[in-house]
Structure 1
Amino acid sequence: MSGFLLDGTAVPFAEGDTLMDAAQRAGHSIAHLCWDAALGQSGACRLCTVRIDGRLAAACTTPAKAGLVVENRTPELDARRLRLTQMLFVEGNHFCPGCEKSGDCLLQATAYGLGMTGMHYDMQAPVRPVDASHADIWLDLNRCILCKLCVRASHEIDGKGVFAMGGHGIGTHLLVNSPTGLLGDSRLAAEDHAAHICPVGAILPKRRGFAVPIGQRRFDPPCAEALPPEPAQDRDENH
């Protein structure tokens, strides 16, 4: 296997790997919300942006090549990730203590890792539909971060195309492909990959909330990787 350098550490890769594929397999963390090893490339969230020989690129879509020098954990890149994470938190309803996904949420874990302890921007508080029509799965669009993981999983793995994206710009939103637009009238099954791939609390199984005690959940601190603390000027509205 050939290799590239990630923050000075040699990382081996196989033919066809992206930088993200190789890094994750080798146990090196690159922040992400839209990547999954079982799915094709996306590049939707941009949290995985790294610097390669002076230029910025998404680690999840950039092919791994021998000799590449990749910077991942730099103050500049972490600051970019922090701002993106802060904007995601206020754009939807991401109140962790009241969310069933808390402790198993990748957005929450990313915030922990970047030292985010509170909201930087004003909450947008959008009012979006909550779809409880399915017997086993709950869909809360107020928590959707438009990562497209459910869309891709339903197409690429389940072969059903239950989810799709609609609109454009700030009007982009998740759609359910069914005669009524309701999840209960779609072909989604509780065992489908798309029903369990959501990194946040937008798609959740019913009757299982808060089943795992605090302290035993996947991303409960100190399980999340410690990163530099958030800057003291966090409330500076000019940024």
Structure 2
Amino acid sequence: MSGTLCIDGIAVPFSDGQTIIEAARSAGVYIPYLCHRPGYAPYGSCKLCTVKVNGRTNTACTLPAADGQTVISNSPDLQHDRQRITQMLFVEGNHFCPSCEKSGNCQLQAVAYHQNMLDNHYPHFYAQRELDASHPDILIDHDRCIFCNLCVRASKEKDGKEVFGIAGRGIHKRLIVNSPTGKLKDSDISVNDEAAHVCPTGAILVKRSAYLAPIGARIYDHHPISEVACEKEVIKAGEASGYPSCDQTKLAQNGGPDSHYAATMPPAPDIKHDR
């Protein structure tokens, strides 16, 4: 079944089986998110995509599109809530952008720009979490994990390995590695696994691509995430602007992306770098 729904006054057609966020993205309408990824089962953990549907709040990544729905995404209260969620993510972990390898190439950073986040608002948590650099190709900075579960789902659903898991609750929640020692070096993850490339922050990094392009020389999108999230073109090397790249499938650094890491979708991160 197909039909049409209305998002912030815009008529948006949808196909059978699409969620609201999928229909919106197909129509070029941006709804913020961090834990959603096309091709993955709906998850709804980050709550950034919360919208009002016929007067009731729902997550756009989990609610199926239906004919005649009236969806509000950009109301002041929803924008305020998204900004507060983003601010809480920043203070909960080590998200000091100037010192992060993903700065300028980070979906969380791009969302913060979109939400007009000018400060953290809340006191910083200063969590003490380890950095696992034991694997020869992949690094985990647990202090930058936002618990989107994308790596967990990618490893299980796409790679068939279950390398990652989430343990604990509340402030004790943490990303774990399913290996005898709990270290990444003793797991069966490969640099070519999808789980190594889906992180929307700097929590999981491929070592050989880290700082491949120095922060001061990185390529930026010409437009904010709300305008580029639904585009599929690749930015050519040498183009520059002032926005963090929210879509790492579009980012071309140092001469252009390499096909070694094939892009599967925008705007969630799939880094294309030389090994």
User: What TM-score does the superposition give when structure 2 sets the normalisation length?
Assistant: 0.78
Q: Indicate the SS of the match to 1:111.
A: helix
Displacement, 1:222?
Answer: 4.5
Q: Could you list the runs of 5+ residues in structure 2 that have no partner in the other structure?
A: 228-275
**One-letter code aligned to 1:217:** I
2:204 is matched with which residue?
203
Contact 1:215 1:221 in 2 (8 A): no
The residue aligned with 2:261 is none
> Which residue does the alignment assign to 2:27?
26
Q: Which residue of 1 aligns with 2:157?
A: 156
What are the Cα deviations for residues 50-101 of structure 1, in whole angstroms up to 9, with x where unaligned? 0011110000000100100000011110000000001110000000011111
Is structure 2 residue 181 aligned with structure 1 residue 174? no
Partner of 2:71: 70
Q: 1:94 — aligned with what?
A: 95
Given the alignment, which residue of 217, 220, 223 partners 2:219? 217
Q: Secondary structure at the match of 1:40?
A: coil
User: 1:166–1:174: 8 Å Cα contact kept in structure 2?
Assistant: yes
Give 2:131's aligned residue. Answer: 130
Letter in 1 for 2:163: V
1:183, distance to aligned residue in structure 2 (A) = 0.6
CA shift for structure 1 position 22: 1.2
Q: Which moved more, 1:141-150 or 1:209-218?
A: 209-218
Q: CA deviation at 1:161?
A: 0.5
The equivalent residue for 1:79 is 80
Question: Once the 2 structures are TM-superposed, how far is the Cα of residue 189 of structure 1 from its aligned partner?
Answer: 0.3
Tell me which residue corresponds to 1:194.
195
Q: Which amino acid aligns with 1:151?
A: V
In the aligned structure 1, how far is the partner of 2:111 from the partner of 2:148? 14
Comparing 204-213 and 183-192, the one that deviates more = 204-213
Calculate percent identity across the aligned residue pairs. 50
Give the aligned CA root-mean-square deviation in angstroms: 1.6
Contact 1:35 1:60 in 2 (8 A): yes
Q: Quote the Cα distance in structure 1 between the aligned partners of 2:182 and 2:171.
A: 20
Per-residue CA deviation, residues 171-216 of structure 1 (Å, 9 max, x unaligned), is 1111101111101110110010000000000000103223336575
Distance 2:7 2:133 in 1: 44
Conserved in 2, the CA contact under 8 Å of 1:92 and 1:144? yes
Using the TM superposition, give the Cα deviation of residue 225 of structure 1 relative to its aligned residue in structure 2, in angstroms. 4.0
Contact 2:114 2:225 (8 Å CA) reproduced: yes
Q: 1:101 is aligned with what amino acid? A: K
1:92-145 per-position Cα deviation (integer Å, ceiling 9, x unaligned): 000001111111211111110011122211111111010001110010000000
Matched letter for residue 8 of structure 2: D
> 2:114 touches 2:224 (CA, 8 Å); kept in 1?
no
Q: SS of the residue aligned with 1:207?
A: helix
Q: What SS does structure 1 have at the residue aligned with 2:208? A: coil
Residue aligned with 2:38, SS: coil
d(CA) in 1 for partners of 2:187, 2:127: 25
TM-score, length of structure 1 as denominator length: 0.90
Q: Secondary structure at the match of 2:128?
A: coil
Q: Following the alignment from structure 2 to structure 1, what is the Cα–Cα distance between the partners of residues 134 and 217?
A: 32
The code of the aligned residue for 2:55 comes to G
* Alignment size in residue pairs: 225
Residue type of the alignment partner of 2:109: Q
- Aligned 8 A contact 1:195 1:205 in 2: yes
Could you say what secondary structure the match of 1:146 adopts? coil
Find the aligned partners of 1:193 and 1:202 in 2 and give their Cα distance: 15
Deviates most, 99-108 or 81-90: 99-108
In structure 1, runs of 5+ residues without a counterpart are 227-239
